[in-house]
Every structure is written in C-alpha cells, then in structure tokens.
Amino acid sequence: MSLSASSIKIGDTHTEVLVEDLKRTQIVQYAGASGDYNPVHTDEKFVTEIAGYPTVFAHGMLTMGMTGRLLTNFVGDGRLTKYGVRFVNQVWPGDTLTATAEIVDIREEDGQRLADLTVTTVNQDNTAVLTGNATARIDD
C-alpha cells in the first residue's frame, strides 16, 4: 500500500492507538531490544530514590518507534524519507498513546512526488508526548 497524489489532499489525517495501558514489561522488552539499560526506565528504586522521578518512564525512542509504525502504516513500506521528533513529555506505565499524522504539503522534488506530514502522539489526557514531522515518497 502506498499513497498517491491523486487520492490524498492537504489536511487528510490518519490516527491509530499505539498502545493501551503501557505495561512496564513492554518498557523492559524495549530496553532489551535496544540495548538501552538506563535504570530510569526499569528500576523503580533507582528512579524514585536517586533520580527523583515519580516512577519509571518509557524510553523516548520507544514512543518514536511506536509512532513510526503509524507512519509506515499510513504512507506505505519503504516510503518514508524523513522522520524527526521532539520528546515533549514523559510516557509513564499505564499510559494509552494515540498518534495522528496529518498531510501538510504535497509537492515535487527532483521529479519525485512527496508528501510532508506532521505527527503528534498524545496520552490519555490529550497531552502531547511526541511532536514531529515526516516526509514520504508518494505515487502520482
């Protein structure tokens, strides 16, 4: 599946629930898969008593990876050319995350049709945890 310029327009959006009730185990699973063992993500005692946070929080890159799934589902496999994010708030165990991508421009560069998108991931309180933008190759 891929997008074509004739079938999309500026303002089109795509929304997916990325995760419901984020489990601590998924954060551990991500730590193992990524090799990022920073204890702020996994060690309750360390994070509350030493680092001074209310509890452990997810790796920003976990949210980025989950949000990347929304983008590839929307624009198609192998179509993403740029993807940039800022981590604007922490993601905690129990959070439900929903991401929305919006087409903000459809243009041509070096003979290639491209769509520019913004992407925002929010938690169950509708607070943004990730904001970003992306560019994808599309068909005519």
Q: Which residues bind other proteins (CB under 8 A)?
A: 18-19, 26, 29-30, 32-41, 51, 59-62, 64-66, 68-69, 72-73, 77-78, 80-87, 132
> The dihedral of CA 72, 87, 124, 102: what is its sign?
negative
Cβ proximity to other proteins, 1 vs 140, nearer residue:
1
Closest approach of other proteins to the CB of residue 107, in Å: 17
Closest approach of other proteins to the CB of residue 11, in Å: 24
Closest approach of other proteins to the CB of residue 72, in Å: 7
Cβ proximity to other proteins, 6 vs 37, nearer residue:
37
Query: What are the two backbone dihedrals, phi and then psi, of residue 121, each rounded to the nearest 5 degrees?
Result: -115, 125
